[in-house]
């Protein structure tokens, strides 16, 4: 057990968390809404106060840079809840569409 506790900090953050797709956030309200910018086949939406979402052809990555729990959503496509300072990645689905922009929700 001590050996596992020793190795845990050495595991890169990219391998630490798989994004959990969620359906919504009762009682939450939108705190920011930003558009995705495109560079080649990569789309990135960055909210300066809250975090970012990046979509490549195969991967969706989300990072919460705030000090509170947030829900990162692309309306009608994907919602990912993340704790303060957390990040995650998952496979991008064909329904993950950046054209509607990113909304950040908070309780």
**pLDDT computed for residue 51 by the predictor:** 98
Distance CA 42, CA 92 (A): 12
Q: Is residue 73 part of a domain?
A: yes
**Tokens representing residue 2 in the block:** 């001590």
Q: Is residue 80 part of a domain?
A: yes
Whether the CB-CB separation of 24 and 79 falls below 8 Å is answered with yes
Q: pLDDT tens digit string along 10-51? A: 444 444 488 988 877 888 899 999 999 999 999 999 999 999
**pLDDT computed for residue 15 by the predictor:** 47
Q: Is residue 5 part of a domain?
A: no
Threshold 0.85, pTM exceeds: no
How many structural domains comprise the chain? 1
Q: Is residue 3 part of a domain?
A: no
Distance CA 104, CA 78 (A): 12
Assess whether pLDDT exceeds 70 at residue 2: no
Q: What Cα–Cα distance (Å) separates residue 77 from each residue in 1, 5, 84, 89? A: 40, 37, 23, 16
User: Which structural domain, as residue segments, surrounds residue 58?
Assistant: 14-106
Q: Is residue 22 part of a domain?
A: yes
**pLDDT computed for residue 3 by the predictor:** 40
Q: Which residues contact 27 (CB under 8 A, 6 or more apart)?
A: 107
Q: Is residue 46 part of a domain?
A: yes
């Amino acid at each position: 057990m001590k050996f596992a506790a020793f190795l845990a900090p050495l595991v890169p953050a990219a391998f630490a968390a798989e994004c959990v797709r969620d359906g919504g956030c009762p009682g939450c309200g939108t705190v920011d809404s930003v558009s995705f910018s495109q560079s080649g086949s990569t789309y990135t939406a960055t909210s300066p106060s809250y975090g970012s979402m990046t979509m490549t052809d195969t991967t969706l990555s989300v990072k919460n840079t705030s000090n509170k729990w947030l829900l990162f959503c692309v309306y009608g496509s994907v919602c990912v809840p993340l704790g303060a300072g957390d990040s995650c990645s998952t496979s991008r689905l064909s329904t993950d569409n950046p054209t509607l922009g990113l909304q950040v929700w908070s309780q």
